[in-house]
Amino acid sequence: MRILGIDPGYGITGFGLVEGSRNQYTLLRCGAITTPAGMDFSARLEIIYEDMRQLLEVTKPDVVSIEELFFGQNVTTGIGVAQSRGVILLAIRQAGVPVFSYKPMQVKQAVVGYGNATKHQVQDMTKRLLGLSAMPKPDDAADAIAIALCHARSSTSLLSQVYN
């Protein structure tokens, strides 16, 4: 199964394409969609949407896993990320690819085995699961890879088989 993980953002949207089957995972591609800070916000959303459409066309994932939003202290930033996530979801929907959303705690639980794991612990375990010598950059791409691994590990659990 080819899983495209997405860490949504409006300045940087990370992505990671992972191939997974029976606890064997391979990183196929990763990177980031970026937009210039000074650009009109609607133009930034257009870039994210068009780049996401192209990414889906090129990578041809079986599924997409995307992080759910967590609104911390800065609600204004959260609203912008929510708008970015919206155009990403639209592109995925138009491509006809199934999409699964995961909360940050679910990603940590699936990758590390502990829902309150630190960012460093998630990156270290991601690196181990994929047999990488170093974690890919930027951090948004690394986060997206962890989101893809979350789906790979969650979708093969016995619980998901019972409820599907």
> Active site residue: 19, 124, 140, 143, which one?
140
**Residue 50 is a catalytic residue:** no
Distance CA 44, CA 67 (A): 20
> Active site residue: 7, 50, 57, 68, which one?
7
Q: Which residue has the tokens 């590390």?
A: 112
**Residue 67 is a catalytic residue:** yes
> Active site residue: 40, 46, 67, 68, which one?
67
Written as six digits, the tokens of 140 are 């948004």
Distance CA 134, CA 137 (A): 9
- Which residues are annotated as catalytic? 7, 67, 140
